[in-house]
A = this chain, B = another copy of it.
Amino acid sequence: MDKGVTMEILLTNDDGFFAPGLQTLFEVMVKSPEDTVSIVAPDSQRSASGHSITLFDPLFVTEHPLSGSGYGYAVRGTPSDCVKLAVEGGIVPKPDLVISGINQGPNLGTDIFYSGTVAAAMEGVLAGIPAIAASLASFDFTDFEPAARWLAKHVTNITARFSTGLLNVNFPGSPGDEWKGVRVTRLGRAVYENVFESRLDPHGRRYFWQGGTLIPETDPDTDVAAIHAGYVTVTPMHSDLTDYKKLEEWQGRGAGTFE
């Protein structure tokens, strides 16, 4: 996709249509006159929704007009529903690029499995559309503009070099001039301790709160370690969870061992 060719860019997220991370990204992206920027995003907070989709309830869609030539829709559904609807539902032009975010909070390492932000981007990839998942790795730092500018600057570069697949980008929770640079990383492991706290409700029934404290990752090649060292992390991801090593080994022996 050369610059000069109009791109249809779809923005989505899991924090909801009006979340500052998404709105800031839109405001920055829409300044590029050659691209059309639309938003199809959940109508409410859907963090930790993973790759869930809505099969047994109707998906209601509310239009929110946007500046520029794109369309804005809030969907009573999950992030993946939104991308499916944008790609297959005919409500917006079929996107050339999906950007999911900018999420408030990190999406790193094995935690990406729980992430609605990453799932929405993956939904683009499953439909053959390159996608970026973008996250600000802090729950306190709320200036999304440096991250949005970084994304706008690199969109052409990224789509040109990344015609298929997913790019998972995390930004340090600090002003842009404090970032140490950019690291291309692999997914690390996000391991927590003290994950559950057990309590009794006023009726004496036991319940659990899920949370926990992240145990620092020691491998410096991982996204988890690089973000803690102050770098923007760029992690290329694919969509095939087949274990080919085991597959070859087992097919070599024949499937007979399972008969």
Instruction: State the oligomeric state as a number of copies.
Output: 2
Are A210 and B55 CB-contacts (below 8 A) given A184-B247, A186-B247, A195-B84? yes
The yes or no answer to A174 lying at the interface (CB within 8 A) is no
**Contact, CB under 8 Å: A61 / B210:** no
**A165 CA / B53 CA spacing, docked (Å):** 25
**A239 CA / B54 CA spacing, docked (Å):** 24
Are A239 and B50 CB-contacts (below 8 A) given A205-B60, A208-B58, A232-B258? no
Task: Describe A's contact surface by its main secondary structure.
Answer: mixed
Contact code string A158-185 (vs B, CB < 8 Å = 1, else 0)? 0001100110000000000000011111
Given A59-B210, A61-B207, A236-B246, 4 other A-B residues pairs in contact with their CB atoms under 8 A: A51-B114, A89-B195, A113-B122, A186-B240
**A→B interface (CB under 8 Å):** 47-56, 58-61, 80-81, 84-85, 88-90, 110, 112-114, 116, 119, 122, 126, 154, 157, 161-162, 165-166, 181-187, 195-196, 198-199, 201, 205-212, 232, 234-244, 246-247, 250-251, 255, 257-259
Are A184 and B258 CB-contacts (below 8 A) given A58-B209, A113-B126? yes
- A255 — which chain B residues lie within 8 A by C-beta? 181-184, 234
**Contact, CB under 8 Å: B208 / A89:** yes
Can you identify 9 A-B contacts, CB atoms within 8 angstroms?
A51-B52, A52-B52, A53-B114, A80-B114, A89-B195, A161-B257, A162-B246, A166-B241, A184-B251
